[in-house]
Amino acid sequence: MKRALLFSILALTSAIASADTIEMKVYGLVCAFCAQGIEKTLRKNPATEDVVVSLEHQLVAVSTHPGQDIPDADLTKALTDAGYDVKGISRTQRPMTEVRAGLKQDAK
């Protein structure tokens, strides 16, 4: 019984600790083809729920399915293998609708 309770607590803690949105500063984004390639690559990961790529902000945002995560090393490898330079990765609880709204607001 104690093991089951401990396992449940650990599973809940790891689900809470994982970020819903991963935002990456990526250099080398210059065209819509770049954005499409990155989006296609990141969507292959089973933990990926949604992807936003902004050329103007050099931003790539990935939302993950609840309770799932993508390690920084996997994200960095996918982007550097595609020829881009990852300058920073941050994990937030910011929903993708807010990410998109912020990008549209900045574009005005």
Helix (H) or strand (E) holding 69: none
Q: What is the mean pLDDT of residues 26-50?
A: 93
Domain that residue 15 falls in: 2-107
Pairing of strands 48-54, 21-27: unpaired
Q: How many CA atoms lie within 13 A of 100 on its CB side?
A: 8
Q: What is the pLDDT of residue 81?
A: 92
Average pLDDT over residues 7-33: 69
The pLDDT score that the predictor gives to residue 105 is: 80
CA separation for the pair 43, 101 (Å, rounded) = 21
- Quick one: pLDDT at residue 19? 55
Report the CATH number at residue 48: 3.30.70.100
At 39-73, the pLDDT tens digits run 999 999 999 999 999 999 999 999 999 999 999 99
What is the pTM for the complete model shown?
A: 0.78
Residue 7 per-residue DSSP state? H
Q: Please count the structural domains in the chain.
A: 1
